[in-house]
Amino acid sequence: AFFDVRYGTVNLSSEQTFANGLQIGNTTQGNGNSTINIGDGNFLNLASNITYQADSATANTGLITGGAIQLSAADFGTRTITVSDNSMVTGPELTIASNILESSHQAGSTGNQNLIKGGQGTLLLSGTASTYNVLFVNSGTAQFDTLGALGDNAIQLGTNTTNGTLEYTGPGDET
């Protein structure tokens, strides 16, 4: 089963591994915002995907903050962050304020994990020192407010059949 935070706050006090996915929000029971606080110095080891589900009757959002999300070395493939569109929300439906790190510092890992942004909603990346191989913005919008949120990574917008948008939302002109 996946780890499900429909609404409310979950504080992680130690390193955690979510092997079967992380779901934030709920289509019918979203009675408020969902927050996951990883905790300073902690890692959330992600061996699967992240999904934000919108409740079309409530302007609820998701937030992952603190510590870092580590793309688990258990599978050197791609991780997808799917963000549903919530028409009642102005701004990002899901904000990841934590750094997103590939697992190259884990024993036996070569890194090279990719990150895919899917779904028609908006994802805000606001970490300050993220590292992963390629960011694919296949659909919807990926926003960033510092260059550190993108790291030194390649970025691909859209696919053969979909459009993806990348937006800078930080102060001033960061190039």
pLDDT in tens, 56-115: 788 889 999 999 988 876 555 678 899 999 999 999 999 999 988 877 555 445 556 788
The residue-averaged pLDDT of 110-128 equals 85
pLDDT at 107: 47
38 contacts 64 by C-beta, under 8 angstroms: yes
The predicted model scores a pTM of: 0.89
Average pLDDT over the chain, rounded to an integer: 84
**Does residue 25 come out as left (phi exceeding 0), alpha (psi in the -120 to 50 range) or beta?**
left
pLDDT in tens, 156-171: 899 999 999 999 998 8
pLDDT at 44: 87
> How far is C-alpha 123 from the chain's CA centre?
7
DSSP class per residue in 133-164 = SEEEE-SEEEEESSGGGTTT-EEEE--SS--E
Phi, psi torsion values for 142, nearest 5 degrees: -110, 125
Name the residue type at position 139.
S
> How far is C-alpha 81 from the chain's CA centre?
5
d(CA 135, CA 174): 19
The residue-averaged pLDDT of 169-175 equals 74
